[in-house]
Amino acid sequence: MRKSDNAIIWPVYFDESKSKKEGRRVPKSFAVANPRIVEIQQAAEKLGLKYEINPTAGYPKTPWAKNGMLAVEKNEPKEQIVLKLARQLAKIKASQQPLRK
C-alpha cells in the first residue's frame, strides 16, 4: 500500500481518558477505556478493512509510549473510518466486560 492510500489509526483516537487536544478523535460517547492496538485490529477485521499493523510505533505526541498503529486502506474519508472503528471497538470492549452481579 502506498502511504497516500492509507489512513493512519492510533489507539489514542479512541481513548476516553484523553482530551481532543491530547489526540482523541471520537466523541466521548464512542470512546473506550484503554484501547489496545490488537482490539483495533479486531475491529478492522470485523469491518472487512484492509490494513497493515505496526505494533511498536509511537504516537507522535507521546513517542516513548509504543502503543502501535494501524495503516488502513482508505476507501472513504479518514473520519468515517475512525467512527466505524470506534463503534466496532465499543462492541468488542462491551463483549469483554465481565457480567456484574
CATH number at residue 88: 3.30.56.30
pLDDT, tens digit, for every residue of 7-57?
A: 999 999 999 999 999 999 999 999 999 999 999 999 999 999 999 999 999
User: What total number of domains does the chain contain?
Assistant: 1
Structural domain contains residue 37: yes
| Grid coordinates given for 37 | 492496538
Structural domain contains residue 101: no
Positive or negative CA dihedral for 11, 71, 43, 66? negative
Tell me which residue range forms the domain holding 32: 3-96
The model's pTM: 0.86
Residues 6+ apart with CB under 8 A from 95: none
